[in-house]
A = this chain, B = another copy of it.
Amino acid sequence: MSLLALVEYLPGMLDQQLKSDADLRRFEYAVLLRLNRTPERTLPMLNLSAATFGSLSRLSHSVRRLEARGLVERRRKGGSRYVTLTHEGRHAFLAAAPGHVQEIRRLVLEHLPPGTAGDLAALLAPVAKHLGGIAPRN
């Protein structure tokens, strides 16, 4: 039940913080984060959708908006579409990251019994793995 409460509360609260501090949705932040972690700051849509836990359709809409804001660029190459983080996008991500990490710390990590973050990770890792395995790939 606590897990379900978290699942209900957390997304909304994280969204609010990101929106008011950086004008980004959680999902948009995840897109920028993944691109920034990648050597060429570039990924094909399909990989990006897997890395962000989102459907291709959701990603496509989201990337269109991010491109309109100048935070990413798209180019076609073969049967795939590559998305690249722009300088402006990188700046937006770097500006948003500390506040967001801090918010997660404030909302979650600080309230775990001391020293149990690793235990929590160990419990949830197999669940996350399973969900990732059966998630709808649309």
Contacts and interface: CB of A to CB of B under 8 A. Distances in A.
Interface of A: 1-13, 16, 53, 104, 107-108, 111-113, 116, 119-132, 135-136
Q: Main secondary structure on chain A at its contact with chain B?
A: helix
B5 A7 contact: no
6 A-B pairs with the lowest CB-CB distances in the bound complex, closest first: A2-B124, A5-B128, A2-B128, A8-B53, A9-B131, A111-B127
Contact of A121 (B2, B16, B53): B2
A72 to B, nearest CB: 20
Given A111-B130, A113-B126, A126-B111, A6 B7 contact: yes
A13 B131 CA distance: 9
A5 B113 contact: no
